[in-house]
Amino acid sequence: MTDHLLLPAAGVGRRFGHDRPKQYCTLADRTLMEWTLDLWLNVRLDGRRLLILAQSDSQGRDIARSYSNLDVAVGGEERADSVLAGLEALNAQEQDWVLVHDIARPCVRVEDIERLLDHCHRTGRGGLLATPVSDTIKRRDGDAVSTIDRRQLWSALTPQCFRFGELKQALASALSAGVTITDEASAMERAGFPVDLVEGARDNLKLTRPEDRALIEFYLMQQGRLEQR
């Protein structure tokens, strides 16, 4: 079996509110995209690496050209459409493993990625990096507010790692059924495939809102990847 990597990077970053997609916001001297691509250079994978870009994204194509062993595919309307497009472009063997990682998560730790991959290789079961919820969680239903027991609640991170054939089938089935899919695991759960959680570090933050930027810079400094200011 071979291990491949898909990097969804075809979003527009609406919640970040920038004049350009958030994957092109700069942290020190590099774009968010480059911080994440650089991190993955430290992960040994024997398969293909695919950066999934918006159709008209010339900046991403320019960046991709400066990385060896990085191919480009065109994404779709939603993240799940982009991942499915990436799987179709990958055209791997059914039993190959596919890691899917948000380009917007530059602080993921190599050791966490390796632990997830090792879990999948050892058990033959797919899974995802996740972190236990630490806040008290509320549900609001109209004017009614209630508290949800958080002892079984986890925040899903990426990468998420599943077998190529099963993931492609599960994602295609969910999308054709019109189901809203925000991560690969939810499509696999729906299809009845096993999904395991592998605890990952909480600093694997996704750049989503403007206030996340300073925290990601801090985490990059904490990890020794960005010079302390």
Ligand X SMILES: C[C@](O)(CO)[C@H](O)COP(=O)(O)O
Ligand Y SMILES: Nc1ccn([C@@H]2O[C@H](COP(=O)(O)OP(=O)(O)OP(=O)(O)O)[C@@H](O)[C@H]2O)c(=O)n1
User: Counting contacts by CB under 6 A, is residue 79 touching ligand X?
Assistant: yes
User: Counting contacts by CB under 6 A, is residue 71 touching ligand Y?
Assistant: no
Among residues 3, 34, 102, 184, the one that binds ligand Y under rule CB under 6 A? 102
Candidates 75-83, 129-137, 138-146, 159-167; binding stretch for ligand Y (CB under 6 A)? 75-83
DSSP assignment string, 48-98: -EEEEE-TT-HHHHHHHHTSTT-EEEE--SSHHHHHHHHHHHH---TT-EE
Enumerate residues 13-52 that contact ligand Y by CB under 6 A.
13-16, 22-23, 52
Strand partners, 27: 30
Among residues 35, 70, 82, 119, the one that binds ligand Y under rule CB under 6 A? 82
Q: Pick one of ligand Y, ligand X, none as the site partner of residue 183 (Cβ within 5 to 8 A by kind).
A: ligand X
* Binding map of ligand X across residues 83-122, x = CB under 6 A, - = no contact: -------------------x--------------------
Strand partners, 196: 127
Distant-in-sequence, close-in-space partners of 44: CB < 8 Å, separation ≥ 6? none
Residue 201 and residue 109 in contact, taking contact as beta carbons nearer than 8 Å: yes
Q: Minimum distance from CB of 162 to ligand X (Å)? A: 13
Among residues 8, 106, 126, 200, the one that binds ligand Y under rule CB under 6 A? 8
Residue 51: closest CA among 86, 96, 24 = 86
Count of CB atoms within 10 A of residue 212's CB? 16
Q: Minimum distance from CB of 195 to ligand X (Å)? A: 13
Residue 126 and residue 196 in contact, taking contact as beta carbons nearer than 8 Å: yes
**DSSP-derived pairing of the beta strands 3-9 and 97-100:** parallel
Q: Pick one of ligand Y, ligand X, none as the site partner of residue 93 (Cβ within 5 to 8 A by kind).
A: none
Amino acid at 194: P
Interaction site with ligand Y (CB under 6 A): 8-16, 22-23, 52, 75-79, 82, 102-104, 206, 208
Give contact residues for ligand X (rule: CB under 6 A): 79, 102, 156-158, 182-183, 206
